[in-house]
C-alpha cells in the first residue's frame, strides 16, 4: 500500500460524498436536500486537494458550497412552494424507471472508462504536478495558462456572463407602461 | 500576413471583426439602457444595430481579401471563417430589420432585443473561428443564451414563454452532453486544440479507445440538438412556433448555420482521424433527419410549424454534404447555407409582413388566394417555397444548392449513392407541402369575408424583394457564388477524403 494516510482520506471523503449525495436525492424537504448537496461539494473539494489541485479545491468551496448553494436556498425560500410532499419533479413509475436507466447507463460508462488505459506518452509523470506547484505555487499553475494561452477564452467568458445578466434583466424587469 | 497568436496584438487583429461587433453591441446596450423604453427608442437602437452589423460585415469582407493566416492557437484565421461570418451577419441584419416593424406592432419595446441578436451573432462568429473545444463551447453558449432570451422576449405571450422554457431546458441538457463529450475527448487525447487532437489521434492510434469513442458520441448528440437533427429535433417545432417570427427566422437560418459550420470544422479538423468510424453515424443521422423532417412537415397546417419541420429536413440535406467529407462538399455546404438563409429569411419576412396585431396569420389557409389581393407577395413567397424545394429556374439558388450537394455526394471518393437517392426521394416528398402553399396562394379562391391584409411598408418590401431577387439572380448565374464558396473552403484545414485507411495527411495543416 503506497500511502496509508492517502488511502484512508480518499475512502473517507469518497464515502462521505456518496452518502451525502444519496441523502440529497432522497430528502423530501428542498432545504435539507440543498444542505446535503453542500456536504457533497465539501467532500469533493477535499478530493481535489488530494489530487494536488489546491486552487480548484478552494474555488469549489467558495463558489459551489458558498455562492451557488446560497442562491439555491434563497430561491427555495423566496418561491415558498409550500408543503414539500406536494412537489415532486420525477412523476410516476415511468419517470423513475427512465431516470434509473439513465443512471445505470452512466455507471456502465464510468466502468468502461475506468478500465481503459491512456497511451504511455500521454501519462504524466506522477510528480509533475507537485513540481509545478513547487515552482509556481497553486495560483501560478492556474494563472499562467489562464492569462496566456487562454486569455481570449477567459475574456469571452465575461461576455457570456454579460449576455446572461442582460437576459435576466430584460426578462425579469417590470414592463414599462406603453 | 501571418499572425502569431501568442502575441496579444496579433490575437486582437485576428479577432478584429468579432471584437468590433462585441464593442458595438456593448455600446448599444448602454444606449438602450439609458433611453426611455418605447417604440421610437426601440427603432433607434434597431437601426444602430443594423449599422453595427453592416460595419462588421465590411470588416469581414476587408479581412477576407487580406489573405490573413495564423500560426497555432485557439482561433482559426481562414476563408471558411470569413465566408461563414458573412452568412451569419447577413442573417442578423435581415432579422433585425424584420424585428423593427414586428416589435413595434406587437408592442415588444425592449430595445435590448436588437442588441441580443448582435450578441448571438458574435457568439456564432466565435464558434466558427474557434480552433479549440473550449472556445467553441463558449461561442455556442453565448449564442444559445442570447437566443433563449430572444425566444421569450415577448413576455405577454404564453406560447413564447413555453417555447423559451422548453428551449432553455433542452438546450441546457444538450450542453451537458456537449461538455461531457469535451471532457472525455480531453481525457483521451490530453488536448482541446483541434490540431493537437487530430495529430494525437493519428500518431498514438487512439481511434478505438473507449474514452474517445464515448466522447465523440456525446459531442455528436450535443451538436445534433443544436442543429435540430432527428432524433434530437423534438424542441424545434414548439420553439419555432412560439418565438416571435423574426427570431424564428434567425434561429432557423443563422443559428442552424452556425451549428453546422462549427460541426464541420470540428469534424474535419479535429476528428478527421476517426472520420471513417463515424461516417456511419452521420450517415444514419442524415438519413433519419431527411425522412422525419419532410414526412412530418406534410401534416402541418401552421406555416411556422411547417417551415420548422422542413428546416429539420434541410438539416438532413446539409448533413449529406458533411457525410461526403470532401473539399467539394464543403463548398456545396457553404452554397447551401447561402441559398437556405435567403429563402428562410424571405419566407418569414412574408409571414411578418402579412400579420397584424392580434391576427398573426400563420395558418396555411390564411394564404388562400393571396395572388388575387397581393400578387407581389404571392410571387415572392412562391420563389422562397420553390427555392427551399430546389425547383429549377423558379427556385433559383435553391436548385443549385441541392445540385451541388448531390454532385459532391456522388463524386466523393467514397460515393454516397444511397444518401443521394434518399435526398432526391425526400425532396420529392417535400414538394407535397411546399407546392401546397404555392397552390393555396395561386389557385384557391380568397375566402369570403377574409379580413383586409395590412399595408406593407417599404422596409419589409425591400427585404422580401431583395431576398427573392438574390435567389433568382444567382439562380441564373450561380458561378460567382460557387467560386466564392470554393475560395472559402480553400483554407479550411480539411481532413483527407473519406477513404478506408488514411494516415499522416490528417495533420497536414
Q: Please state the φ and ψ torsions of residue B68, each to the nearest 5 degrees.
A: -70, 150
Helix (H) or strand (E) segment spanning residue B33: helix B16-34
**What pLDDT score was predicted for residue B4?**
87
Looking at the complex, does the CB of residue B466 fall below 8 Å from at least one CB of chain A? no
Nearest-neighbour CA in chain B from A129: distance (Å) = 15
H or E segment at B70? Answer: strand B69-70
Q: Does B208 touch chain A (CB under 8 A)?
A: no
Contact in structure between B471 and B385 (CB atoms under 8 Å)? no
Residues 104-133 of B with CB under 8 A from A: 107, 109-110, 112-113, 115-116, 119, 122-123, 126, 132
Chain A residues touching residue B141 (CB < 8 angstroms): 160
Give the CA radius of gyration of chain B. Answer: 22
Does the CB of A111 have a partner CB in chain B at under 8 Å?
A: no
Pairwise CB contact (< 8 Å): B107 & A178: yes
Per the CB < 8 Å rule, is B146 touching A167?
A: yes
Assign residue B130 a region: left if phi > 0, alpha if psi is -120 to 50, beta otherwise? Answer: beta
> Is some CB atom of chain B closer than 8 A to the CB atom of A91?
no
pLDDT value of residue A174:
66
| pLDDT tens over chain B, length 509 residues | 788 888 889 999 999 999 999 999 999 999 998 888 888 999 999 999 999 999 999 999 999 888 888 888 889 888 889 999 999 999 999 999 999 989 988 888 888 999 999 999 999 999 999 999 999 999 999 999 999 999 999 888 888 999 999 999 999 989 999 999 999 999 889 889 998 998 888 888 888 888 888 899 999 999 999 999 988 888 999 999 999 999 999 999 999 999 999 998 898 888 877 877 788 889 999 999 999 999 999 998 899 999 999 999 999 999 998 888 788 888 899 999 999 999 999 999 999 998 888 778 888 888 888 899 889 999 999 999 999 999 988 888 999 999 999 999 998 877 888 999 999 999 999 999 999 999 999 998 888 877 788 888 889 999 999 999 999 999 988 888 888 888 777 655 444 433 333 333 333 33
For B142, the closest of A112, A156, A171 (CB atoms) is A156
**Spatial separation of the C-alpha atoms in residues B411 and B22, rounded to whole Å:** 41
Query: Does this model's pTM top 0.80?
Result: yes
Model confidence pLDDT, tens digit, residues A73-86: 888 888 776 665 55
**Residue B455, Cβ density class (10 Å: 0-12 exposed, 13-18 middle, ≥19 buried):** exposed
From the list B216, B442, B402, the residue with the least C-alpha distance to B313 is B402
Which of B475, B477, B310 has the alpha carbon at shortest distance from B394?
Answer: B475
A171 touches chain B (CB under 8 A): yes
User: What residues of A are in contact with residue B107 (Cβ under 8 Å)?
Assistant: 178
Instruction: Tell me what pLDDT residue B446 has.
Output: 87
- Whether omega before B231 lies within 30 degrees of 0, making that bond cis, reads yes
The verdict on a CB contact (< 8 Å) between A150 and B74 is: yes
Could you tell me which of A39, A47, A56, A62 has the C-alpha nearest to residue A13? A47
Asked whether B398 and B390 are in contact (CB, 8 A), the reply is: yes
Backbone angles phi, psi at B132, to 5 degrees: -150, 135
DSSP state of B270: I
- Longest pairwise C-alpha distance within chain B: 72
> What pLDDT is stored for residue A89 in this prediction?
58
Angle at B332 between CA B295 and CA B322, to 5 degrees: 65
B130: helix, strand or coil: strand
Q: Do B116 and A163 count as a contact with CB atoms less than 8 A apart?
A: yes
The closest of B460, B449, B432, B453 to B361, measured between CA atoms, is B453
Asked whether this complex has an ipTM greater than 0.85, the answer is yes
Question: Closest residue of A to B135, CA-based?
Answer: A153
| DSSP code per residue over B412-460 | SSS--HHHHHHHHHHHHHHHHHHHHHHHHHHTSPPPTTPPPPPPPPHHH
Counting as low any pLDDT under 50, the low residues of chain A are 177-178
Would you call B495 helix, strand, or coil by DSSP? coil
Q: Does B152 touch chain A (CB under 8 A)?
A: yes
Report the Cα B250 to chain-centroid distance in Å.
Answer: 8
CB of B200 within 8 Å of a chain A CB? The answer is yes
Q: Which of A108, A160, A162, A164 to mutate to test the interface with B (most CBs of B within 10 A)?
A: A160
Task: Give the other-Cβ count within 10 Å of A97's Cβ.
Answer: 11
pLDDT at A85: 58
Within 10 Å of residue A77's Cβ, how many Cβ atoms?
A: 11
So what's the pLDDT on residue A91?
A: 64
Q: CA B131 → CA A159, B70, B274, distances in Å?
A: 19, 11, 18
Question: What span, in angstroms and rounded, lies between the C-alpha atoms of B356 and B347?
Answer: 16
Inform me whether the C-beta atom of residue A95 falls under 8 Å from chain B C-beta atoms: no
Amino acid at each position: 500500500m503506497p500511502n496509508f494516510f492517502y488511502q484512508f482520506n480518499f475512502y473517507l471523503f469518497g464515502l462521505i460524498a456518496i452518502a451525502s449525495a444519496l441523502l440529497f436525492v432522497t430528502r423530501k424537504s428542498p432545504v435539507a436536500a440543498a444542505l446535503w448537496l453542500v456536504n457533497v461539494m465539501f467532500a469533493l473539494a477535499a478530493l481535489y486537494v488530494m489530487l494536488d489541485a489546491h486552487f480548484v479545491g478552494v474555488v469549489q468551496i467558495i463558489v459551489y458550497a458558498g455562492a451557488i448553494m446560497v442562491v439555491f436556498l434563497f430561491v427555495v425560500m423566496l418561491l415558498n412552494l409550500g408543503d414539500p410532499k406536494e412537489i415532486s419533479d420525477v412523476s410516476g413509475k415511468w419517470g423513475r424507471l427512465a431516470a434509473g436507466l439513465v443512471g445505470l447507463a452512466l455507471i456502465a460508462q464510468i466502468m468502461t472508462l475506468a478500465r481503459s488505459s491512456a497511451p504511455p506518452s500521454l501519462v504524466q509523470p506522477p510528480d509533475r504536478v507537485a513540481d509545478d506547484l513547487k515552482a509556481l505555487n497553486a495560483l501560478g499553475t492556474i494563472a499562467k495558462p489562464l492569462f496566456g494561452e487562454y486569455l481570449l477564452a477567459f475574456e469571452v467568458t465575461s461576455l457570456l456572463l454579460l449576455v446572461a445578466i442582460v437576459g435576466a434583466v430584460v426578462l425579469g424587469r417590470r414592463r414599462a407602461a406603453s | 500576413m501571418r499572425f502569431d497568436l501568442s502575441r496579444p496584438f496579433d490575437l486582437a487583429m485576428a479577432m478584429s471583426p468579432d471584437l468590433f461587433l462585441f464593442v458595438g453591441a456593448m455600446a448599444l446596450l448602454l444606449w438602450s439602457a439609458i433611453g426611455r423604453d418605447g417604440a421610437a427608442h426601440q427603432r433607434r437602437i434597431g437601426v444602430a444595430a443594423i449599422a453595427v452589423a453592416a460595419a462588421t460585415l465590411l470588416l469581414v469582407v476587408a479581412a477576407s481579401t487580406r489573405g490573413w493566416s495564423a500560426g497555432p492557437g485557439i482561433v482559426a484565421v481562414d476563408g471558411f471563417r470569413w465566408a461563414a461570418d458573412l452568412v451569419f451577419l447577413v442573417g442578423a441584419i435581415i432579422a433585425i430589420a424584420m424585428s423593427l416593424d414586428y416589435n413595434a406592432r406587437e408592442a415588444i419595446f425592449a430595445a435590448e432585443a436588437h442588441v441580443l441578436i448582435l450578441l448571438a451573432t458574435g457568439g456564432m462568429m466565435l464558434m466558427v473561428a474557434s480552433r479549440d473545444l473550449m472556445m467553441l463551447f463558449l461561442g455556442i453558449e453565448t449564442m444559445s443564451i442570447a437566443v433563449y432570451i430572444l425566444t421569450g422576449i415577448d413576455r405577454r405571450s404564453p406560447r413564447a414563454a413555453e417555447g423559451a422554457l422548453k428551449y432553455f431546458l433542452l438546450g441546457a441538457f444538450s450542453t451537458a452532453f456537449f461538455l461531457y463529450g469535451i471532457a472525455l475527448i480531453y481525457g483521451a487525447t490530453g488536448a482541446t486544440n483541434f490540431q493537437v487532437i487530430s495529430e494525437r489521434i493519428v500518431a498514438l492510434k487512439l481511434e478505438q479507445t473507449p474514452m474517445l469513442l464515448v466522447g465523440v458520441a456525446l459531442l455528436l448528440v450535443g451538436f445534433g440538438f443544436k442543429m435540430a437533427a432527428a432524433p434530437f429535433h423534438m424542441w424545434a417545432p414548439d420553439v419555432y412556433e412560439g418565438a416571435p417570427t423574426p427570431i424564428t427566422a434567425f434561429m432557423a437560418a443563422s443559428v442552424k448555420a452556425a451549428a453546422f459550420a462549427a460541426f464541420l470544422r470540428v469534424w474535419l479538423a479535429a476528428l478527421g482521424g476517426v472520420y471513417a468510424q463515424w461516417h456511419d453515424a452521420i450517415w444514419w443521422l442524415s438519413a433519419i433527419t431527411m425522412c422525419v423532417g419532410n414526412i412530418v412537415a406534410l401534416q402541418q397546417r401552421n406555416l411556422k410549424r411547417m417551415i420548422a419541420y422542413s428546416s429539420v429536413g434541410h438539416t438532413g440535406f446539409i448533413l449529406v454534404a458533411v457525410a461526403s467529407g470532401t473539399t467539394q462538399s464543403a463548398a456545396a455546404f457553404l452554397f447551401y447555407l447561402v441559398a437556405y438563409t435567403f429563402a428562410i429569411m424571405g419566407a418569414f419576412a412574408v409571414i411578418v409582413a402579412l400579420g397584424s396585431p392580434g391576427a398573426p396569420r400563420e395558418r396555411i389557409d390564411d394564404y388562400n388566394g393571396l395572388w388575387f389581393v397581393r400578387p407581389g407577395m404571392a410571387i415572392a413567397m412562391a420563389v422562397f417555397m420553390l427555392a427551399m424545394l430546389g425547383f429549377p429556374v423558379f427556385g433559383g439558388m435553391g436548385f443549385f444548392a441541392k445540385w451541388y450537394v448531390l454532385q459532391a455526394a456522388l463524386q466523393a471518393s467514397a460515393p454516397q449513392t444511397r444518401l443521394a437517392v434518399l435526398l432526391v426521394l425526400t425532396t420529392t416528398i417535400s414538394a407535397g407541402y411546399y407546392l401546397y402553399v404555392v397552390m393555396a396562394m395561386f389557385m384557391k379562391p380568397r375566402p369570403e369575408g377574409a379580413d383586409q391584409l395590412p399595408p406593407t411598408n417599404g422596409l419589409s418590401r425591400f427585404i422580401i424583394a431583395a431576398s427573392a431577387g438574390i435567389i433568382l439572380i444567382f439562380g441564373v448565374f450561380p458561378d460567382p457564388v460557387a467560386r466564392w464558396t470554393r475560395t472559402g473552403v480553400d483554407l479550411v484545414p480539411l481532413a483527407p477524403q473519406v477513404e478506408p485507411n488514411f494516415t499522416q495527411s490528417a495533420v497536414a495543416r
